[in-house]
Structure 1
Amino acid sequence: MNQVTHFPVGNGDTSLIQTTDSAYTTNIIVDCNIRNESLGSKDPAMYDVKAHLLRSLNRKTVNGITNVPYADVFILTHGDEDHVRGFEQHFYQGDPRLYSQRNKDAGEIINETMWFSPMVMGKANNEDERVFNKEARRRINLHRLNSPDRDLPGNRIAIIGYDGNEKLDGLRHYVPGQIVSRFNNRELSTFSIFIHSPYQQGLTEDEVDKNGVSIVFQARYKINPFSSTFSALFMFAGDANHEAIAEILDKTIRHGNATRHQALAWDVLVAPHHCSWTFFNFCEQEDHPIPEKTSIAFLRQRRTENAHVIASCKPISPYDKNPPHYAAKVEYVKVVGEKNFFNLATAIMRGQTPQPIIYQVTAGGPMKPKAPEGTAKVAGAAGLSTINSIPGYGAGPVQ
């Protein structure tokens, strides 16, 4: 199974990356915004993300308890509430050897490996972020103390980006410009992640802008280990603002990674900060929007004219409170076209309930989302086909 699922969670982010290699499917969860109103279909206007995860994740026996759900990797792009909501309730924290039947009955998912930036581990702005930070520090301390348990599933960590405060020498550490193909102690041959950010270094807690230091990465699929091109490229940008995007663009091009590794190319882009204007410029300018040239240049790294932008946000209206910003949607549509812009809140509906957009990865690229039976037609998409055409595939971005 090679697919990426983007869940409709309002103004927030939750995605599930899945890739099969040597008969094992690696599951990577990116952020969580699991709202209590969505559980058990209490609110028909909310999709039950937790139930979907429990159906999708691998299971194993833990401490004699069978059928325990687990994720190979949980990536927290940054600690804002709409990216970490539900972490305390739905993900297990603590020594994995103490996971009990009570934890399983509560549907607690084990995160075997946590990826995060220590730059956002200062003062927590919400309870779930506080709990996440506590769990991250528990794992960090195991590694600092060289505990024999530090590499048990459920204790593993990876530090992403440069650090301003923590003394993390000796820990697994991935920095911008690095390609990662090892996930949860498994080396993968057809999937990798290119790390783009965060870059900032030497910051104090008061100076850290959590949106500005979001983890930004490119998820890269190959159809086989020997292929010289990628069958699908997904860009995850967290809540990165236009300044962070400009730095990514500059350094990726300057270090040759745009051409050598196709590190800026994308077939599917998750619009940063829930289709906020901050991707294009400062919010104060929304009444007279002038997008930064670097932001438009980043968008024009799309590989084909059929590349998709996913807006993980509430319905977009020019008359509603921002974000999402209607002016931002206008700029995305100028580049990719109306039919290739998808708002998760409205793109696929089953009755009153928005449905996730699921991209199957094929030899010709990510397959366009298709509405399941009994579901309204996908907004902006016609039937089942691939985003990219195979001839000339991987030749470079569309200008």
Structure 2
Amino acid sequence: MEKESITCFQYKLRNLACDGEILKLLKALHERCGGQWVYSVHQNYEVYPDTPELSEAFFYPEWWKRRVVRPAFPGIQEFGWEEGRSFHFIHSSQTVNGEVRHLLQIRGEEEFTEEDHVLLDYACILTGYMKALPAASEGISTLMGNAYRGIRPETIPEGVFPENGYGIVVLERGDKGILKQQGYLGYRLHRSFRKCLRYCFLDETHLLLFVSADNVMKVTEQLEEIIGFGDDDMIMGISGLYSAAEMDQALGEARHSVEVGNLTDMDRTVFFHCELGIFRILDYPKPGSPVNRLMDQMTEKLMEYPKEKRDALSDTMCCFVKNHYNYQKTADAMYAHVNTIRYRISLLENLWSCDLQREEDRLLFEVVSRLLPLWVKETGYE
């Protein structure tokens, strides 16, 4: 069958663009020109033909080698990449309402033709008149970053976020630089979760997510696989279920979960806020909190003793609370004489103006005994 003229094909592309059929537009370009076509707007990607993994080459422009060609249009750039396999790219982009839209054709070693350049340029212009991808918004990262810092969103862009979801904070505490692969990881997150997840790389060690899921445990397993959790280099905190308008609460709980988890348990990788026990209401180690000020005041007095003595006092207090304020059981657990335990506890009572006959002071001791190990880890006091 005779190939339709380029003018007729452009008319076909225009009709697809008018109907908002971006995937069909990419398919038509593939059938006409071959290669793999990628259209991206911020956190959204459409790819045809779809593959389990889009080549990493797309996400690392620093790997691309500019090819010396004279494209039909100055807005088109052509590149090559060789890393085990050879790829050629032609790339065009434009900015629409503050959002940068990219259109890219990837193929093997075969050369691009002038028709490829013409159709890429025309298709890129058409996408500027299409509705953006369903959840495209340049403000996603800004909104999520502010929510992480405790600023409640004034408005949620329609169709951008799932209506309800879980806040998740991923922390990289190793030095492998896993979260530096932001573009590639972003695509993998998008492809795995499509419209039910939004993300923000706060920096190279923190990844924020808001994800809708019927089974959040399964989501954490998928995230571990996508991001590549290994050893103790990555940990994750998960909030309860919140509406998108309450994202500050969701990401706040997730942040608190990962902070507490990072200080308390080096053997686990996933920390659910609902499982934090008393730490759900104690916001330590959040700077400036009343709990922080309490710990600063109490440990400042403890620091007046030499290290060996304050270690003995803090260990005794934790063991005493653990053994339900029983002197003999504490002495047995610490292989010490019961009078030694009584002496240490009386020192702490005097130091902190407490009386363990009072229920309120017993509760205070219990709270401090939970927080003290975190305080020691965080401050690294000697």
Q: TM class by shorter-chain length?
A: under 0.3
Q: Which has the higher contact order (CA 8 A, sep 6+)?
A: 1
Bigger strand fraction? 1
TM-score by length of 2: 0.21
More helix by proportion, 1 or 2?
2
